[in-house]
Structure 1
Amino acid sequence: MADEKKPVKRVVPMEVLVLGVSRTGTSSTREALKILGFRDVYDYDYMTWHWGHAELWSKAIRAKWEGGPPMTRDDWDTLLGRCRAVVDNPANLFGKELSEVYPEAKIVLNVRDNADQWWKSFSATIFKNVSQHYKNPSYLTRYIHHVNPMPEWHKWDDLNMLMVKYGATQGKHYYDEHNERVKKEVPTDRLLVWNVKQGWGPLCKHLERDVPDQDFPHVYETKDYQDKAQYVWRLLYWMAFWHTFWSGVFVAGVGAILYFMTLPVRRVIGI
């Protein structure tokens, strides 16, 4: 299992890119894709638990926002090599790049009924969490980000930070602008614009899969998300605690070694 947390060369084809922004049913879509046979779906959760990917994601971030060297097909294959589909973050933030790198992949754009409905869900979940920890971060929050294995992690919250800074009006504008950009950039024969309320039918037709004999999954409703966010932050607090603890043990150990190594010399000179 430990090896799975490190990037590998592509071993399966890339088949689906789900480019809808967060809180458009992307997590439910991830579970639906798994039911349809697209196992190992790369999304924010997958990235969170695979910190061995941090170096390549940092390169992707620098390439997109900081003028760094561009990601190659080999880079993306190494990063996403185990997965047949990419959903949510990072898919929506790197949608243009991924759709160009994988022209064979089908595109799904998750949407809500309208921007107001999307914002209602977003503000009760991601916005609430990001506001608490990013808008006026405590010293503890800053320390947690400092010890995070991927220092550029906060840039994944490009959309989320925009919401915190500008609130509902700018947030809804981002949602509409993102959807229109995907529709403009992706050829219509590759694209499905889809609301999860439509269920299996349109999705299975687009992906050329039989409709499963089970209900469409619905996960991460508002309370589910809030519970998950609290759980993740507890893990980050423990990570910061153990990082501090073992750093202290290391410093104390080095100090003890130096103390005993220099003891004879200090006795001679009378210190």
Structure 2
Amino acid sequence: MKIIVASYPKTGTKTLNAALTILGFRVYDYLENTYCHSREWLKILNTGDRKETIELFRQMYKDVDVVLDMPAYYFWKEIHEAFPEAKILLTLRDEDAYYRSAQKQVDELNKDWKYRLEKTVTPTGRTISSVIINTLPVLFGYKPTFNWSRYFPNETMLKIRFRQHNSSVLELAPPEKLLVFNLKDGWSPLCEFLGLEVPDVEFPHKNKNGNLVTELSKENKIMMQMNRELKVVTFCFIAILSVFTCIMSL
């Protein structure tokens, strides 16, 4: 583990993922966290044993360069304890802008019937959903309903948690290992902090206008796997329905 991104979701984490990938790092984002280490995360979220959690992190991320987004950002201190040499990145955002962006993202996910179906009926989607359902009460203090994508209890509570998290990182992270990074500053401060040369490519900008699912469907292997599984499930459903229809018509 080389870099721990302690940033809240919707503060440029997908852009940061793309930038760090360009720099040659192996990044575990939301999908990789919840799918590749689903069993470990379920244990971490439900046991609360700090020593066991830190040891699990050592095992989970020993071959990963960067971890970010849910649910890892919330456990940045424990991950840093497991990997004390890792550097810490934090991206900040105005609270009102953050809330509007986060709510828009959730609205977009709720309107995407295909994505919601994938998370419900495919094996990969159900694995990811099982972790998220257990993540929401810990991260946001909210017990999910059937429509678990709407995880905001209310605007005030979400902003308080957002503020508390950022303050905690700024107060507790070792100053010599922390970079508070503004994405608008581009490559220079990031590469200087990491001791790398600035690449000869434009700094990325991901998840514009909340089009997360569209981007991931084209670029992320786990999302592509869910897409393939949904096609198989759909084919099987149509085949079974056709057979049932034929039997009933006899």
Q: TM-score higher than 0.5 here?
A: yes
Match of 2:201 in 1: 214
Q: 2:73 aligns with which of 92, 97, 103?
A: 92
SS at match of 2:74: coil
User: In structure 2, do the counterparts of structure 1 residues 165 and 149 end up closer, same or farther at CA, with 3 Å as the change threshold?
Assistant: closer
Structure 2 letter corresponding to 1:128: D
SS at match of 2:199: coil
Tell me if 1:148 matches 2:126: yes
> Does structure 2 conserve the Cα–Cα contact (< 8 Å) formed by 1:130 and 1:160?
no
User: In structure 2, do the counterparts of structure 1 residues 210 and 92 end up closer, same or farther at CA, with 3 Å as the change threshold?
Assistant: same
User: In structure 2, do the counterparts of structure 1 residues 170 and 240 end up closer, same or farther at CA, with 3 Å as the change threshold?
Assistant: farther
Shift of 1:168: 1.9
SS at match of 2:101: helix
> Does structure 2 conserve the Cα–Cα contact (< 8 Å) formed by 1:62 and 1:68?
no
Match of 2:40 in 1: 56
Once the two structures are superposed, residues 243-270 of structure 1 have per-residue CA deviations (whole angstroms, 9 ceiling, x without a partner) of x96xx9xxxxxxxxxxxxxxxxxxxxxx
CA distance in 2 between counterparts of 1:236 and 1:132 reads 21
Once the two structures are superposed, residues 206-227 of structure 1 have per-residue CA deviations (whole angstroms, 9 ceiling, x without a partner) of 1111122221111111242253
User: In structure 2, do the counterparts of structure 1 residues 240 and 165 end up closer, same or farther at CA, with 3 Å as the change threshold?
Assistant: farther
> Does structure 2 conserve the Cα–Cα contact (< 8 Å) formed by 1:41 and 1:85?
yes
Structure 2 letter corresponding to 1:216: F
> Does structure 1 conserve the Cα–Cα contact (< 8 Å) formed by 2:54 and 2:78?
no
Long gaps (5+) in structure 1: 1-13, 249-271
Structure 1 letter corresponding to 2:77: K
Q: 1:109 aligns with which of 85, 90, 105?
A: 90
Match of 1:45 in 2: 31
User: In structure 2, do the counterparts of structure 1 residues 171 and 97 end up closer, same or farther at CA, with 3 Å as the change threshold?
Assistant: same
Q: Which has the larger radius of gyration?
A: 1
Shift of 1:44: 0.8
RMSD: 3.6
Match of 2:8 in 1: 21
Structure 1 letter corresponding to 2:134: K
SS at match of 1:92: helix
Structure 1 letter corresponding to 2:97: Q
User: In structure 2, do the counterparts of structure 1 residues 116 and 235 end up closer, same or farther at CA, with 3 Å as the change threshold?
Assistant: same
User: In structure 2, do the counterparts of structure 1 residues 240 and 63 end up closer, same or farther at CA, with 3 Å as the change threshold?
Assistant: farther
Match of 1:81 in 2: 62
Q: 2:159 aligns with which of 147, 172, 178?
A: 172
Long gaps (5+) in structure 2: 143-149, 241-250
Shift of 1:197: 1.1
> Does structure 1 conserve the Cα–Cα contact (< 8 Å) formed by 2:90 and 2:180?
yes
> Does structure 1 conserve the Cα–Cα contact (< 8 Å) formed by 2:7 and 2:89?
yes
CA distance in 1 between counterparts of 2:58 and 2:109 reads 31
Shift of 1:161: 6.9
Match of 2:178 in 1: 191
SS at match of 1:116: helix
SS at match of 1:149: helix
Match of 2:53 in 1: 71
